[in-house]
Amino acid sequence: MIRFILFTFFLLTVTFESTAQEVHRCGTQPYKSPFLKKYQANPENYDTKSGELLMVPLTIHNVGNDAGFGYYNFNKLMDALCALNTDFEDADIQFYIEGDVIYHANSAYYTHTTFVEGANMMFENNIENTINNYIVSNPSGAAGYNLPYAGIAMGKSYMSPGNHTWAHEIGHNLSLPHPFLGWEGGVSHDGSVSHNFNNPAPEYVTYDYTVFQSEFFNDADTLIIDTAFVEYVDGSNCHIAADGFCDTSPCYLAASFDCDGDIFTNPTQTDPTGATFQSDASLFMDYSLDVCANRFSDEQIAAMRATLINEKPELLYDLVPPALVDAAPNQTMPLQDEVVPFDEVTFTWDAVPNATDYFIEVSRISDFSLIAHEEITSNTFATALDLQVEKDYYWRVKAFNKKSLCAPASETIKFETGDFVSDENVLLRNFSIYPTILKSGSNLNINWQGNSVNNWSIQIFNSAGVLVQEELNTDLTTNTSYEFNTTILTQGVYFVVINADEKTERSKFVIY
């Protein structure tokens, strides 16, 4: 019998969320965390370190289908994170990508229809001491949701700048309820009782927070109902009603509502005393349309900061402010309208201050809506081996580090793949180096069959793209090998780059 109830319950949840998609952007269900209750009882007891920058690590789980299609484009992800940080600027809270983006080719994650599936996805893949964010195609029928004990699922079509769903879900993750807490199911927990906003609201409403218990799987078969006091317009019960914040004005609207500039066009509502009002549409945590929302309230900000400092201090292990990356890379190869060998196209650009990584995209379409090659690299070059012959392509590159992802992309450069292979364009025939893994202090042997070119240089770059050793004007024309002394290099990955007459050969080696 218990199993039957459980099944019925989740079926109802799915139905609710499917309906919700058209009017709600958020699948997060009503909940006030034990920490928030404790905090709101005595907020003056908590030092929120107001004005100090709090840097918060995010793990990004980029989910595609079983075939590996449908991943969220990394360029768009950078734009989304940049927009998220803009939304949190006034809170002095900023987010960064911790570790590498994790890719999951998993259709069951990509389109999941219940919180159980979403929770299992999170339990299996979460990285500790970060806020885990799963970017999927369909997060249980919602635009996004937060599971307080697990993480955030975001629908990729709700990630674009101008859409504040991610900020809203992270607000939930940092303890914030909806300002209309208690009205998620209307005046009753299951939406079964209709309410006319022209009539006075009841003194309290009920809400279902079964799935947001911290021990979700142990007690999800028991329906748990709580009550919320309805907030008065005069603010007299604001500390105990709805979300418990006094600077988030009353709102009973658990459905999208509009505004017109600063003018609220949402329905007039009536509080339990008969006083009428319209809701403030400017708060990210309400369901006002994205175009209306632009802020967290001061009390919401203080509560999020208190949550980080007191309840989730494990997230605050790297408070170093971002080293700003604000320039676009200067592209050096291929240049506009250049014709290059189709089988091996090498892209190069100049290093950008403070950048640790670069994202390069190659497309047949100038708006990059379809990607032929993409790559994240710590180098200032990349190679595409998979382009078609005699086609026009476009390429661009963006510089970033894990805390600074708002730099503009480079110019879009058009080039053409010629009907010839890279062998005709090589600097050195049969170019090779050995050993590719060598002991510190030993010599690197470079071998080739030379072309008659003068003004050679040999450069060694470390894995961060920094030039660490260089020999200029080396005469290689009469030799077929060269012994390169690596004594000054410490352990690590290096790239040897040989330049001559605007041609380049590259290879990688490791010193241990």
Tell me if 167 contacts Zn ion by CB under 5 A: no
Torsion-angle region of 19 (φ positive above 0: left; ψ -120 to 50: alpha; else: beta): alpha
Which of 3-11, 18-26, 348-356, 403-411 is the region at the interface with Zn ion (rule: CB under 5 A)? 18-26
Q: Smallest gap, in angstroms, from Cβ of residue 6 to Zn ion?
A: 24
Which of 22-30, 102-110, 254-262, 346-354 is the region at the interface with Zn ion (rule: CB under 5 A)? 22-30
Which of residues 97 and 281 has its CB atom nearest to Zn ion in the complex?
281
Cα→Cα distances 325→118, 357, 407, Å: 35, 10, 6
Which of 8-16, 19-27, 98-106, 369-377 is the region at the interface with Zn ion (rule: CB under 5 A)? 19-27
Tell me if 165 contacts Zn ion by CB under 5 A: no
Q: Smallest gap, in angstroms, from Cβ of residue 154 to Zn ion?
A: 12
Q: Smallest gap, in angstroms, from Cβ of residue 215 to Zn ion?
A: 22
| Rounded distance between C-alpha atoms, residue 58 and residue 136, angstroms | 16
Q: Smallest gap, in angstroms, from Cβ of residue 287 to Zn ion?
A: 8
Tell me if 300 contacts Zn ion by CB under 5 A: no
Two structure tokens written together for 396 = 């661009």
Tell me if 26 contacts Zn ion by CB under 5 A: yes
Which of residues 122 and 170 has its CB atom nearest to Zn ion in the complex?
170
Which of residues 28 and 85 has its CB atom nearest to Zn ion in the complex?
28
**Residues 6 or more apart from 379 whose CB is under 8 A from it?**
358, 461, 463, 465, 495
Q: Smallest gap, in angstroms, from Cβ of residue 165 to Zn ion?
A: 9
Cα→Cα distances 31→97, 165, 183, 243, 249, Å: 27, 18, 11, 9, 18
| Rounded distance between C-alpha atoms, residue 434 and residue 442, angstroms | 11
Nearest-CB residue for Zn ion: 26
Q: Smallest gap, in angstroms, from Cβ of residue 171 to Zn ion?
A: 8
Tell me if 28 contacts Zn ion by CB under 5 A: yes
Which of residues 266 and 331 has its CB atom nearest to Zn ion in the complex?
266
Query: Site for Zn ion (CB under 5 A): how many residues?
Result: 2
Tell me if 278 contacts Zn ion by CB under 5 A: no
Which of residues 96 and 145 has its CB atom nearest to Zn ion in the complex?
145
Cα→Cα distances 471→447, 448, 455, 460, 508, Å: 16, 17, 11, 9, 17
Tell me if 143 contacts Zn ion by CB under 5 A: no
Helix (H) or strand (E) holding 34: helix 34-41
Q: Round the CA-based radius of gyration of the chain to a whole number and report it.
A: 28
Bridging pattern class, strands 392-400 and 467-474: unpaired
Two structure tokens written together for 128 = 């500790």
Which of residues 18 and 336 has its CB atom nearest to Zn ion in the complex?
18
Contacting positions for Zn ion (CB under 5 A): 26, 28
